[in-house]
């Protein structure tokens, strides 16, 4: 049984998403947006280390391998970890729009159990944009990119200003991220200059 709440149905005035001219080319790896990110950070030992790759239009693919640290039941991925993988994949789509946005709503269907050691093959796309609201969906397959769907999600991301992170984040992490000598990492941890 699955369904979609009204909040995830784009309103009548919604428009098709527009790929930013500087979006990474199809096939290009996006790389981590923040090295401590639980979803994608390479310096985050407990994280998913999800790797996303730009697709055509406003779409992308991503992969992550379920580790023993990601278990809920013996030998099986925790549902919250799978939701994180979907959230991260969907959030990464905003890099193709060059819009800074946070998850407002995420609805997840769990279709098949996902064992430890499995590679989850994710694909995601933005379906519509209405003002600050970005509508998107994703699927995660197991056994290969064309394998059966194990999880799927629909989401609503809300565009925010850079100040969202400065106002709400903890000062010590903000200071550390802002003092990163690499300007592109600084930009992607906090802001996007369209």
Residues lying near ligand 3VV in the complex (CB under 6 A) are found at 7, 33, 39, 87-88, 91-92, 94-95, 100, 102-105, 131-133, 156, 158, 160, 188, 192
The least distance separating ligand 3VV from the CB of residue 36, rounded to whole angstroms, comes to 11
How far, CA to CA in Å, does 8 sit from each of 123, 129, 137? 18, 11, 10
The least distance separating ligand 3VV from the CB of residue 74, rounded to whole angstroms, comes to 28
Whole-angstrom distance, CA of residue 94 vs CA of residue 32:
13
Cβ proximity to ligand 3VV: between 4 and 75 the closer is 4
Cβ proximity to ligand 3VV: between 119 and 160 the closer is 160
The least distance separating ligand 3VV from the CB of residue 192, rounded to whole angstroms, comes to 5
The least distance separating ligand 3VV from the CB of residue 143, rounded to whole angstroms, comes to 25
The least distance separating ligand 3VV from the CB of residue 112, rounded to whole angstroms, comes to 24
Q: Length of the chain, please?
A: 194
- SS3 category, 193: coil
7 phi, psi to nearest 5 deg = -65, -15
* Strands laid side by side in the 101-110 sheet: 51-54, 59-65, 119-130, 133-141, 149-159, 101-110
Cβ proximity to ligand 3VV: between 24 and 147 the closer is 24
The least distance separating ligand 3VV from the CB of residue 161, rounded to whole angstroms, comes to 9
Residue nearest to ligand 3VV (CB): 91
Cβ proximity to ligand 3VV: between 67 and 103 the closer is 103
Cβ proximity to ligand 3VV: between 46 and 132 the closer is 132
- SS3 category, 64: strand
Cβ proximity to ligand 3VV: between 49 and 133 the closer is 133
Whose CA is closest to 2, among 94, 100, 137?
Answer: 137
Whole-angstrom distance, CA of residue 118 vs CA of residue 143:
7
Angle of helix 183-190 relative to helix 171-178, nearest 10 degrees, comes to 150
């Amino acid at each position: 049984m699955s369904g979609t709440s009204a909040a995830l149905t784009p309103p009548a005035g919604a428009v098709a998403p527009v790929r930013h001219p500087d979006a990474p080319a199809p096939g290009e790896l996006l790389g981590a947006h923040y090295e401590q990110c639980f979803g994608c950070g390479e310096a985050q030992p407990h994280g998913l280390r999800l790797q996303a790759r730009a697709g055509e239009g406003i779409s992308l693919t991503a992969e992550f391998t379920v580790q023993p640290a990601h278990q809920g039941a013996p030998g099986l991925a925790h549902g919250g970890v799978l939701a994180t993988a979907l959230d991260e994949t969907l959030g990464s789509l905003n890099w193709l729009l060059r819009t800074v946005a946070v998850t407002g709503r995420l609805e997840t269907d769990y279709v098949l159990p996902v064992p430890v050691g499995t590679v989850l093959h994710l694909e995601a796309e933005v379906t519509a944009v209405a003002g600050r609201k970005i509508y998107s969906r994703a699927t995660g397959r197991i056994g290969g990119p064309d394998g059966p769907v194990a999880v799927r999600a629909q989401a609503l991301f809300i565009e925010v200003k850079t100040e969202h992170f400065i106002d709400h984040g903890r000062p010590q992490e903000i200071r550390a991220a802002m003092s990163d000598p690499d300007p592109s990492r600084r930009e992607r941890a906090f802001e996007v200059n369209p």
